[in-house]
Structure 1
């Protein structure tokens, strides 16, 4: 009790009275299992959970989404923790602003939600490299998700820092975390029989005292178990409310009635459930993952997921159908033969809270992109090249501020004499535009590995602009996710040499320098790669909106320095979500990096369009 009171005094933001029924003030037993059911402080308990990832949602909207979760009838929030954001550079940790995990956990507690934390180190989640930082791949011998020394040393260092944040928020210390997941879906990877035990001990030795869980599909359960663990068939850890989209594919949609009927059938068995996703959010920036089965497919920017709440936090029919279902379960779901609180531990005789009001969306109309600067004009003024005889992959570029580039584009430049056949030997990751001087020649990727370079007089510059479209986040090829040029490229069977290599990650510092560069009025004829700039003027309080890029081909959008993510005319996604908190009254700067064909305007609309729908059975 003394420890709890001390913690409460040191944590004035917490409103534990909303979180903790009187019968749970002891906080000694925590979440346990007994005969395939959960107990919380010795009382029967069912997890009605929903997934929401703080790193995919603007911080200003965290509490709104949590209140909507409560209004739907859920009692538990689950979230992953993205290592690659918290430790972007080796040894430099960030738990600030939108990565403030302390603030996120505090809000969950304030709003009466338990938390199941999924700290990885690998999280999958359709996130670049499954949340593992790309600098791990600087080691040519790296074996991710194994007990390889180079990997475990990095995990140990990360967990040392992460657990300083997490441990005080555990249930037994007065916090909302009732369970912690050990790694993620390891049964589908299973390259090292000692690995799961290592991760388990890494958590326990750093102060994790709550129930440990794993999550696997039915085929991977036997490989994903931790030594000493047992099956818990009464919990569906990821009930998929929808699905994610890939560039060039359809927008996947799950039928709401079918989904809710399946949830109802799960609840009838007495099982606990976690909805993945309750609120998907957005893969802002360059953080989307990819799949590589028969072919490489990168994920779109939106992580709407056809979830219970939309990408912008609006209600769907799934929300109201689930709310009705959970409201019927809550209050009836009591320990057999007892008159104590229902096993949800929250809504004893109290109706669900009213759903919060939805914020209106804005349509700001057409925005003229009236200025531009070619990439070729940016090179000599804003970018310092790296000189190398051989091509260097993105992760191993010797940059000034850190070793390696994690995301974005890399430009490889060399001198050639004459023309001929350019062949990549499948060393482009993932997509390249090829130029002779500034003349566009063609594209190279996994399917197109050869181009004809036109003949010409004298020495000319051959330029290869390579985009990292997102690292694979699931499967057995994680160790092969180095990007850029990962090996030699040949002209007439001779490997190219003596490169100037330009890093184009487009970090905030670069975008700030770009702001004061030599912009020109957009000419009558123009083509990328180039940066285009315009201004959105807002008279009143900014609201969420969506940017429609009809007439543009492929690139990235920045608003007031914030990277909204990628667009691509092949779809399915046709609008980018622009959160209101990232806008301001008055002028808002919009910068677009367009790889090829640029439009003159973009449209700010109040309705998203995520593409042609395909219903999933």
Structure 2
């Protein structure tokens, strides 16, 4: 039997199975889409004229604790790749180990940071031993799905945008060999922006470029580096991500189509990042820090051709019209959209203060000095990864409380459980009221998302990362509570003693209501007018963060996460609850609340 010829890059044009091949790709992340909707999103992709799916693989989801590997249910990567093949799509895998993706720590697990000498994305032995263990579990699961074995995987990416980091000249060679030695046989490629092209590559691996607009001779730079090689824009940015407190990003459809048209006319291949962005459910959204820390929103709509909830956009229709010209067969009809519903508003009926809920958390950890959440002795020695951490100590006086920039990322400060103010990277000092007796000082610190790109990766410890001083004296003798909002804790809270909701109910706390669904559940968007900042859980699913500063104004609630009958909604609100949860068929984007009119809406 003749050997199957996979994707080849041996001339100016790709070949697949020995025939010329134009790669028309699109990115969808299985971990940002409910599994029940994988088929729907991939069918919509195929109907648009896309022939190749690309997806990142998030290490921090697949190995949340060192040595604990998860590849089932919504993390069943094999099922996702196999479904793509069933629907007629080729696949490019982007296994990292670093993926960026506006994902917490760029997909790297936070337990790596427990090693005080850790040097991420280098050949430091503590990092490579962890990568080796991860790849030992990951690669054998996907290797059988390669083209050479009859599967859809035609290419695998070596790391991600390393030219923008480039701290170890042996690292990319190590990652390449780590893939090859475990059975990766398909075309290898790298992915960099123009500035990173020269130092992000590795011998024998195809270079590709990331961009949004054709300027400064970017494509020519790629061609000059690789004469007689096909041109691939591995990330053609169809939109952009959002950060809290800034405008919702829009990239006009006409501009996107004009660039895509020119790239195709030049003979290039491309992959749209994103074709469908989806949602960074839970606490998984990342952050950027180019001198100023900016956490990213839970919505990863990205202004992509398919919206966050899977709607067709103007970009989709224009793109489909264009790509029809590059498909030899008529495109399938786009599937019908899922119905959505604006359910009746839910009145919050029950309440439990954070202080009452502490009894359901793990026993507090005692520490003489401040300690980061990653270094807490919880979760089988892996530390705390996400959510909130409460630090408490006894104070004997009032005066000046100075964070010394040791809070990551935002802290509500209480004296005897009364909110005094907020400390973050901008505001580092508060005046505590005087008092005669010993009082309890509490700092509820939130990890708002670890940086996912840039030089600051190694410095992403969260919680208290150094001394906090009261009147220039460092605080000592801390009781530290892990409040990562994991199911084990939330289940205990749910079965605990709740109080009836009253207008005078204070925060922070948990607020519970019941959504009644008659008939087949449908997608919806949750809106929280009058609330300030927190997290929403529906039937145990963490939908993500909300924050009144915008630009995200709603949380996407997929219909498959609802059930006919009663549905439990729990809101953890930090500062001010309104008592009502409302629903909408469509999201509202692009506006920011005037912070000057909302004193509770402190921007981080």
Give the structure-1-normalised TM-score.
0.91
Q: Within 1, Cα distance between the matches of 2:369 and 2:127?
A: 27
CA contact (8 A) 1:556 1:563 kept: yes
CA contact (8 A) 2:190 2:205 kept: no
Q: Within 2, Cα distance between the matches of 1:225 and 1:388?
A: 45
Partner of 2:495: 516
Q: Within 1, Cα distance between the matches of 2:192 and 2:176?
A: 16
CA contact (8 A) 2:14 2:230 kept: no
Per-residue CA deviations over 1:136-189 (Å, capped at 9, x if unaligned) read 000011000000000000000000000111100100011000000000000000
Partner of 1:18: none
In the alignment, which of 301, 309, 312 is matched to residue 312 of structure 1? Answer: 309
Partner of 2:221: none
Correspondence list, 1:533-544, <5 A: 533-544=512-523
Q: Within 1, Cα distance between the matches of 2:576 and 2:591?
A: 23
In the alignment, which of 62, 65, 87 is matched to residue 38 of structure 2? Answer: 62
Is residue 612 of structure 1 aligned with residue 588 of structure 2? no
* Secondary structure of the corresponding residue to residue 85 of structure 1: helix
Correspondence list, 1:476-515, <5 A: 476-515=455-494
* Secondary structure of the corresponding residue to residue 442 of structure 1: strand
Per-residue CA deviations over 1:19-59 (Å, capped at 9, x if unaligned) read xxxxxxx5522111122211112111110000000000000
Partner of 1:218: 194
Greater CA deviation, 35-44 or 529-538?
35-44
* Secondary structure of the corresponding residue to residue 115 of structure 1: strand
Q: Within 2, Cα distance between the matches of 1:378 and 1:131?
A: 30
- Give the deviation of 1:261 after TM superposition: 1.2
Q: Within 2, Cα distance between the matches of 1:240 and 1:375?
A: 41
Q: Within 2, Cα distance between the matches of 1:505 and 1:565?
A: 13
In the alignment, which of 266, 270, 285 is matched to residue 269 of structure 1? Answer: 266
Q: Within 2, Cα distance between the matches of 1:279 and 1:510?
A: 33
Is residue 248 of structure 1 aligned with residue 245 of structure 2? yes
* Secondary structure of the corresponding residue to residue 167 of structure 2: coil
Per-residue CA deviations over 1:420-468 (Å, capped at 9, x if unaligned) read 1111111000000000011111000001111101101210000000000
Partner of 1:235: 232
Q: Within 1, Cα distance between the matches of 2:342 and 2:466?
A: 47
Is residue 425 of structure 1 aligned with residue 404 of structure 2? yes
Partner of 1:396: 375
Correspondence list, 1:11-410, <5 A: 26=2, 28-229=4-205, 231=226, 232=229, 234-331=231-328, 350-399=329-378, 401-410=380-389
1:51/1:226 CA distance change after superposition, 3 Å: same
1:27/1:353 CA distance change after superposition, 3 Å: farther
Q: Within 2, Cα distance between the matches of 1:107 and 1:27?
A: 24
CA contact (8 A) 1:365 1:605 kept: no
Partner of 2:596: none
Is residue 600 of structure 1 aligned with residue 579 of structure 2? yes
Is residue 452 of structure 1 aligned with residue 431 of structure 2? yes
CA contact (8 A) 2:7 2:155 kept: yes
- Give the deviation of 1:294 after TM superposition: 2.6
- Give the deviation of 1:538 after TM superposition: 0.4
Q: Within 1, Cα distance between the matches of 2:504 and 2:12?
A: 68
- Give the deviation of 1:381 after TM superposition: 4.4
Per-residue CA deviations over 1:388-436 (Å, capped at 9, x if unaligned) read 1111101010015443000000000000101111111110000000000
Q: Within 2, Cα distance between the matches of 1:287 and 1:440?
A: 27
Q: Within 1, Cα distance between the matches of 2:10 and 2:188?
A: 14
**How many corresponding residue pairs?**
571
Q: Within 1, Cα distance between the matches of 2:289 and 2:138?
A: 30
Q: Within 2, Cα distance between the matches of 1:27 and 1:70?
A: 28
Q: Within 2, Cα distance between the matches of 1:84 and 1:213?
A: 23
Q: Within 2, Cα distance between the matches of 1:113 and 1:473?
A: 29
Per-residue CA deviations over 1:81-120 (Å, capped at 9, x if unaligned) read 0000000000000001110001001100100100000000
CA contact (8 A) 2:361 2:482 kept: no
Unaligned stretches of 5+ residues in structure 1: 2-25, 332-349
Q: Within 1, Cα distance between the matches of 2:250 and 2:429?
A: 37
Partner of 2:568: 589
CA contact (8 A) 1:27 1:41 kept: no
Give the structure-2-normalised TM-score.
0.93
Q: Within 2, Cα distance between the matches of 1:500 and 1:512?
A: 23
Partner of 1:338: none
Partner of 2:534: 555
Per-residue CA deviations over 1:534-567 (Å, capped at 9, x if unaligned) read 0000011000000001100000000000000000
- Give the deviation of 1:378 after TM superposition: 1.3
* Secondary structure of the corresponding residue to residue 363 of structure 1: coil
* Secondary structure of the corresponding residue to residue 69 of structure 1: helix
CA contact (8 A) 2:162 2:200 kept: yes
CA contact (8 A) 1:541 1:584 kept: yes
Q: Within 2, Cα distance between the matches of 1:408 and 1:488?
A: 21
- Give the deviation of 1:365 after TM superposition: 2.2
Q: Within 2, Cα distance between the matches of 1:380 and 1:98?
A: 31
CA contact (8 A) 1:27 1:174 kept: no
Partner of 2:601: none
* Secondary structure of the corresponding residue to residue 532 of structure 1: strand
Unaligned stretches of 5+ residues in structure 2: 207-225, 593-604
1:27/1:73 CA distance change after superposition, 3 Å: farther
CA contact (8 A) 2:398 2:434 kept: yes
